[in-house]
Structure 1
Amino acid sequence: MKFISWNVNGIRACLKKGFLDYFNDMDADFFSIQESKCQDGQVELDLPGYEQYWNYAERKGYSGTAIFTKHTPLSVKYGVGDQASQDEGRIITLEYENFYLVNVYTPNSKRDLTRLDYRIEWEDKLRDYLISLDQVKPIVYCGDLNVAHAEMDIKNAKANMGNSGFTDEERGRMTTLLGSGFTDSFRYLYPTQTDTYTWWSYMNKVRERNIGWRIDYFIVSDSLQEQIKDAEIHTSILGSDHCPVVLNLK
Structure 2
Amino acid sequence: MPIKRRTLSTAASKLNSGAKTVRDVFEPPVDTEKESRPTKKTKISAGAQKSTNNSVKDVKKKSISKKVEAEDNERDCGEDMEAEAENKASTNNSSGPTNTSMPATLSFQKKQEDTIKFASWNVSGLAAAVKKGFDTYASAEDADILCLQETKVREPLDISAIVDRYPHRWWAIGDKKGYGGVAVFSKIEPISVTYGVPTHSDVDYTKSRVITLEFSNFYYVACYIPNSGTKLKNLAERMDWDIAMDKYLRQLDEKKPLIWAGDLNVAHTKIDLARPSSNSKTAGFTAEERADFEKLLNGGVQRFVDTWRHFHQETKGVYTYYSYRYHCRTKGIGWRLDYHVVSERLLDRVLQSEIRSECYGASDHVPIVMILKA
Whether TM exceeds 0.5 here: the answer is yes
Q: d(CA) in 1 for partners of 2:230 and 2:284?
A: 9
Deviations 1:63-117 (A, max 9, x none): 0000010011100000013464533600000000010000010000002111000
- The answer on 1:183 being equivalent to 2:305 is yes
Q: Which of 118, 133, 138 in structure 2 is aligned with 1:23? A: 138
1:19-168 → structure 2 map (5 Å cutoff): 19-41=134-156, 43-46=157-160, 47-50=163-166, 51-81=168-198, 82=200, 84=202, 86-87=204-205, 89-168=208-287
Give identity over the alignment, percent.
Answer: 40
Given that residues 195 and 210 in structure 1 are in contact (C-alpha distance below 8 angstroms), is that contact kept between their aligned partners in structure 2? yes
Q: Which runs of 4+ in 1 moved over 2 A?
A: 81-88
- 1:245 equivalent in alignment to 2:363: no
Task: Compute the displacement of 1:237 (Å).
Answer: 0.5
Counterpart Cα distance in 2 of 1:166 and 1:85? 26
The 2-side partners of 1:107 and 1:215 are apart by 12
Aligned letter for 2:230? R
What root-mean-square deviation, in Å, do the aligned CA atoms of Structure 1 and Structure 2 show?
1.2
Larger Rg: 2
SS in 2 for 1:207: helix
**Distance change in 2, residues 1:85/1:119 (3 Å):** farther
Greater helix share, structure number: 2
* Mapped pair 1:6 → 2:129: no
SS of residue paired to 2:265: coil
Q: Which moved more, 1:73-82 or 1:122-131?
A: 73-82
Map 1:198-237 → 2, pairs under 5 A? 198-237=320-359
Change in 2 beyond 3 A, CA 1:36/1:85? farther
CA distance in 2, matches of 1:27, 1:85: 32
Query: Which 5+ residue runs of structure 2 have no aligned equivalent?
Result: 1-115
Query: Could you say what secondary structure the match of 1:212 adopts?
Result: coil
CA distance in 2, matches of 1:68, 1:204: 34
**Aligned partners of 2:346 and 2:256: how far apart in 1?**
10
Contact 1:85 1:91 in 2 (8 A): no
**How many angstroms does 1:45 deviate by?**
2.3
What secondary structure, in the 3-state scheme, does the structure 1 residue paired with 2:231 have?
A: coil
AA aligned to 1:182 is F
Give me the whole-angstrom Cα distance separating, in 1, the residues matched to 2:204 and 2:142: 29
CA offsets per residue over residues 141-196 of structure 1, 9 Å max, x none? 01101110000001011111121110000000110011131000011111100000
Task: Decide which moves more: 4-13 or 51-60.
Answer: 51-60
Q: Which residue of 1 aligns with 2:71?
A: none
Aligned residue pairs, count: 249
CA change 1:85–1:12 in 2 (3 A) is: farther
